[in-house]
Structure 1
Amino acid sequence: MPKGSPTSWSYILVRLLFHFVLKIFYGTIVVENIEYIPTTGEPCIVCSNHPNSLTDALILVTSIPPGTRNMLRLTAKSTQFGRKTFTSWLIESAGTVPIKRRKDFPEGDTDNSEVMEKLIQALEAGDAVCLFPEGGSRYHPTIAPLKTGVARLLSDVLTRNRNNPDFSISILTCSLTYMHRQHFRSDVLVTFNPPMKFTPKDNPEFLAPVNFASIRDVTSRMHQLISSQTIDAPSWDLIRSAKLAARIYVPLGTSMSLGDFVRVMRTFVEAFKLSKAKGEKYDQQNQEDDDINRLRNDLKKYQDNLVYWGIKDDRIRRPLRRRTIISRIFVRLIWSFCLMSISLPGLVLWAPVFVTTFIGVRNFKKSGPTWDTWDEIAQYKLVYGLISGVIVWISSVLLTLPFAVITVILVPALMWMTLRWLEDAVSAFRAFTALLRLLWVGPMTLKELRETRDDLHSRIMNVAVGTLGLPQNPEKYFLESGGREKGRVKSKWESGAKYFSMRRRRKRDWNETLRLYDKVDYPDEGL
């Protein structure tokens, strides 16, 4: 039985580095169904959707527990190799295998036969190999048709081991969902799906000479599994409406896991997608599809109004008296000022990181058209942030050499707590500006928005419960179902410490990022 390749020290170091920088950049990374991951020594091809360039690979490496699998052998486009850059060093240090893509070599030099041989040998040794069957990273709302390379690799491995009755290999699909993939302190959901297991004895259809229909069938099953646990829509506009529908169905403050929120949102996406497809294909629709299409269009208009006035749906759902609004304005402003004040010493350390990252990403965007650079923004933010953060840490230690033993720990601790307080300060300031806008909007407009919202809520509940089979009382249902929730604490001390806890995050909304305004819109459909 294969035992898997030994883990090199460079891979362990790179994995720890990945884990650290991802924890800083993303607010929460929730990993589901790790029990599906085959253990070390079991040949495994890990496949996922590919929305976020190199960041997807980093997420997968850090999401697989070292106790389950000692390493994940990555693949990346060959143009990432051989550069004198930190990104290139990271990729090569992790034992990544270069893959040549046709679009990178227009002259036709895309022979990957040696690469495929290395991957086959790694699988026969019991390793896990990571492939992205979309063929390239895409900043699009929909998953691209999967290429057949994974299924063909499966066939080659099974064929070479056709006389080994004990040999088996699995395809483990994974669904990645970024709430806002390139924004600081956003959230990420990683969902592993049940693996597909193959053996030469049970799957002779994959032994050479193989019928290509079997290759297409496995590829189709992979696509179905990946898309079943993430958001796969034909347009950003549809995702925008589905997210608003989910937030009206499960209002702000509902205690639910990120996975539950994504699945609720996906349910609305699928309903809108199906009704829209029927409307475009047939001249006549049934009443149910017509109602869903009108709901989607009305949600878009309502969201447009919210964006125009600069307020969130939650401010419409829970009307406040003018006196209450004014008093809360002062509370939010004072609290934001207090948190920002205690953050100032740490912000001095963070300033070079933020400035360097901003300049680096801005220059990167100028290097090509938006459609060709947008999916790599998170990657560049991670790299520039990591390098500048390490330089700040080393410089702080060198400048305080007599107390270096203290500052080597104090500096990163202060930077982490500053990030915690800054998140809450920004959240408080967002609330302050939202309350100001409520005064600006005026009672008549608020009344109209509230009437529109009440009508939408009634229609959404009818569709959610009557058509989509979602729970009648979502707030109670998701509270009882449990899960990893934003702001949940594990001890009385943490609960009492609140803003001064090292671990507590008080965000109530899975849609939040570290911005002074709420991020609800998506790119133009042409991107």
Structure 2
Amino acid sequence: MPQGTSTPWSYILIRLLFKFVLKIFYGTIVVENAELIPKSGEPCIVCANHSNSLTDALVLVTAIPSRTRNMLRLTAKSTQFGRRTFTSWLIESAGTVPIKRRKDFSDEDVDNTEVMGELMKALELGDAICLFPEGMSRYHPTIAPLKTGVARIVSDVLTRNRDKADFSISVLTCSITYMHRQHFRSDVLVTFHRPMRFTPKDNPELVAPVDFNRIREVTSRMQELISSGTIDAPSWDLVRSAKLASRMYAPLGTRMSLGDHVRLTRTFAEALKAPEETHEHDTATGTGACGEKDIEIQSLRRDLKVGSNYQDRLVRLGIKDDRIRRPLTRRTILLRMCIRLSWSLVLFIISIPGLILWTPVFLTTFYAVHNFKKSGPIWDTWDEIAQYKLVYGLFSGGFVWLTSILLTLPVASFTALVVPLLMWMTLRWLEDAIAAFRAFTALTRLLRAGEAATREMRDVREDLYTRVKDLAIGTLGLSEDPEKHFLERGGREKGRVRGRLESGAKYFSVRRRRKRDWNETLRLYDKVDYPEEGL
């Protein structure tokens, strides 16, 4: 049985390096179903949605345990190769295979025959290769229709090994969900699905000669699996509405894992978009009419979206739905404002020494990303922002570390350990400080809004909440008690705490900050908006 290509030292270095960098940039990277990944020596094609450029590949490389696979052979657009940049060296050193895209060679013939031959040889050696069947990375709320290249490679490899009774090749689909793909200390969910296994014996329909409809069937199944594990919506408006609905159904304080949060939001997104798709189909075919339930869901979607009376006011006030759900007296608001501001100041003060070290990193990445954004439209640049932040953050952070060592040569061995530790703990304190200050500003806005305005919003919310709960329980079959349901499914994954003793032990956890909301990032405000539709 083949054992797969031995892992090159450069790949090991890159995997370790970017596992470290990704853990700093993203607050939590949750990997689900890693046990489903085929072992080294089993030919495997890893396929995922592609919304974050090179970062997607790095996330997959670090998410697949080294004890399970020797390496993951990557592919990248050919224009990334042969350039005198760190990114180019990084891609080439990891054994990445260049793929030519038609859009990059408009005046030339594009021939990837040789490249496909290399990929098939790698599979026959027992390697795992990574392909993004959307064909290109893009900043968009929905997954693009998958290209048939993966299914055709499976067919070609099966055909080449039609006489080997024990030959098997797997397609491992994966869904990658970034809560906010380009924002510092956001969260990432990586969900592997059960592999699709193919053999010449069990799948003779994929052995040449092949009916192309069979290729399309495999591709459609891949699309269903990838879409099932992430939020796949036709518009950013629908994503916003689905997130608000999920927060209403499972409000702040519900202990739920990131995977459950994503799947809940996806469930609402699918429910809210269904009547519109039905209406579009009926209009195109001239058949039928929307039922009463569809009309109710369409009405709920309109009332949930930004621009509606409720969510638009939440955005303008800069507060969360939970602030309206749980009314506070004026005295309680003032008391909490004092506590949040005091705690925020304490944490900012103890963070100052470390912030001096972080300042060059923040300035460098801000300058690089600011210039990069001006190089093109949102849809063609925003999917590479995280990549730029990772690379420039790595260089600037390494520069800070080396400079600290050179400036303290007599105690360099001490500095080499203390500086990274101080920077890490500063990041933890800074996260808590910003969260506390964000809570202070939200309470300030709530106080300024006045009791009459909040009472009016609460009345609107009560109506929306009743309709969301009817949809969740009556139509979608969700639990009547989300807190109990998600807690039984493993709600501690968020890092939340249960009692005073555990609270004291975990509050300054070295691993990660105790988030109250998976939507949080390291910003002075909650990120709730997306690019305008059509950009």
8 Å CA contact retained: 1:420, 1:499: no
> What secondary structure is seen at the aligned counterpart in 1 of 2:443?
helix
- What residue is the counterpart of 1:215 in the other structure? 215
Report the CA distance between 1:275 and its aligned residue: 1.3
**2:443 is aligned with 1:435:** yes
Amino acid at match of 1:392: V
| Residue 332 (structure 2) aligned to one of 310, 318, 324 | 324
**2:345 is aligned with 1:337:** yes
- Aligned mates of 2:51, 2:215 — CA distance in 1: 24
- Aligned mates of 1:40, 1:413 — CA distance in 2: 35
- Aligned mates of 1:223, 1:285 — CA distance in 2: 27
- Aligned mates of 2:125, 2:499 — CA distance in 1: 44
- CA deviations 1:37-70 (Å, max 9, x no partner) are 0000000000000011000000100000111111
- What residue is the counterpart of 1:128 in the other structure? 128
- CA deviations 1:199-229 (Å, max 9, x no partner) are 1111111111111111111001000110011
- CA deviations 1:226-260 (Å, max 9, x no partner) are 00111111111001000000011100111100000
- What residue is the counterpart of 1:35 in the other structure? 35
- CA deviations 1:342-362 (Å, max 9, x no partner) are 000000000000000000001
Higher mean alpha-carbon deviation, 87-96 vs 117-126, is at 87-96
Amino acid at match of 2:88: S
**2:452 is aligned with 1:444:** yes
8 Å CA contact retained: 1:258, 1:484: no
Amino acid at match of 1:487: G
**2:504 is aligned with 1:496:** yes
> What secondary structure is seen at the aligned counterpart in 2 of 1:76?
strand
- CA deviations 1:171-215 (Å, max 9, x no partner) are 000011111111111001000011000011111111111111111
Report the CA distance between 1:487 and its aligned residue: 2.0
- What residue is the counterpart of 2:426 in the other structure? 418
Report the CA distance between 1:29 and its aligned residue: 0.5
8 Å CA contact retained: 1:248, 1:313: yes
- Aligned mates of 2:98, 2:271 — CA distance in 1: 40
Amino acid at match of 1:290: I
- Aligned mates of 2:379, 2:191 — CA distance in 1: 27
| Residue 400 (structure 2) aligned to one of 376, 392, 402 | 392
Pairing of 1:216-365 with structure 2 (within 5 A)? 216-282=216-282, 284-300=289-305, 301=308, 302-365=310-373
> What secondary structure is seen at the aligned counterpart in 1 of 2:233?
coil
Identity rate of aligned residues, in percent? 72
**2:164 is aligned with 1:164:** yes
- CA deviations 1:427-473 (Å, max 9, x no partner) are 00000000000111011110010111111111111110000011111
- Aligned mates of 1:304, 1:63 — CA distance in 2: 38
Report the CA distance between 1:503 and its aligned residue: 1.9
> What secondary structure is seen at the aligned counterpart in 1 of 2:139?
coil
Report the CA distance between 1:374 and its aligned residue: 1.2
- Aligned mates of 1:490, 1:16 — CA distance in 2: 34
- What residue is the counterpart of 1:202 in the other structure? 202
- Aligned mates of 2:178, 2:209 — CA distance in 1: 40
- Aligned mates of 1:323, 1:526 — CA distance in 2: 45
- CA deviations 1:471-496 (Å, max 9, x no partner) are 11101111122155222479998742
- CA deviations 1:264-289 (Å, max 9, x no partner) are 10000000111122233447311111
Residues 246 and 45 of structure 1: CA distance in aligned 2, closer, same or farther (over 3 Å) = same
8 Å CA contact retained: 1:488, 1:504: no
8 Å CA contact retained: 1:494, 1:501: no
- What residue is the counterpart of 1:75 in the other structure? 75
- Aligned mates of 1:280, 1:148 — CA distance in 2: 27
> What secondary structure is seen at the aligned counterpart in 2 of 1:442?
helix
- Aligned mates of 2:393, 2:429 — CA distance in 1: 19
Pairing of 1:54-65 with structure 2 (within 5 A)? 54-65=54-65
Report the CA distance between 1:76 and its aligned residue: 0.5
Amino acid at match of 1:219: T
Amino acid at match of 2:77: K
- Aligned mates of 1:11, 1:317 — CA distance in 2: 50
- Aligned mates of 2:329, 2:364 — CA distance in 1: 44
- Aligned mates of 2:496, 2:166 — CA distance in 1: 45
TM-score, normalised via structure 2 length:
0.96
- Aligned mates of 2:363, 2:18 — CA distance in 1: 22
Report the CA distance between 1:166 and its aligned residue: 1.2
- CA deviations 1:369-391 (Å, max 9, x no partner) are 22211111111011111110011
- Aligned mates of 2:360, 2:429 — CA distance in 1: 18
Structure 2: runs of 5+ lacking an equivalent:
284-288
TM-score, normalised via structure 1 length:
0.98
Report the CA distance between 1:72 and its aligned residue: 0.4
- What residue is the counterpart of 2:382 in the other structure? 374
Residues 72 and 211 of structure 1: CA distance in aligned 2, closer, same or farther (over 3 Å) = same
- Aligned mates of 1:207, 1:493 — CA distance in 2: 62
8 Å CA contact retained: 1:51, 1:375: yes
> What secondary structure is seen at the aligned counterpart in 1 of 2:494?
coil
- Aligned mates of 1:327, 1:155 — CA distance in 2: 67
Report the CA distance between 1:511 and its aligned residue: 0.4
- Aligned mates of 2:204, 2:107 — CA distance in 1: 37
Q: How many residues were matched structurally?
A: 527
Report the CA distance between 1:504 and its aligned residue: 4.2
**2:116 is aligned with 1:111:** no
Residues 184 and 153 of structure 1: CA distance in aligned 2, closer, same or farther (over 3 Å) = same
8 Å CA contact retained: 1:41, 1:126: yes
- What residue is the counterpart of 1:508 in the other structure? 516
Task: Give me the CA root mean square deviation.
Answer: 1.4
Higher mean alpha-carbon deviation, 301-310 vs 230-239, is at 301-310
- Aligned mates of 1:483, 1:520 — CA distance in 2: 23
Amino acid at match of 1:501: S
Amino acid at match of 1:182: Q
> What secondary structure is seen at the aligned counterpart in 1 of 2:106?
coil
8 Å CA contact retained: 2:497, 2:506: no
> What secondary structure is seen at the aligned counterpart in 2 of 1:189?
strand
Structure 1: runs of 5+ lacking an equivalent:
none
Residues 466 and 491 of structure 1: CA distance in aligned 2, closer, same or farther (over 3 Å) = closer
| Residue 484 (structure 2) aligned to one of 453, 476, 482 | 476
Amino acid at match of 2:400: V
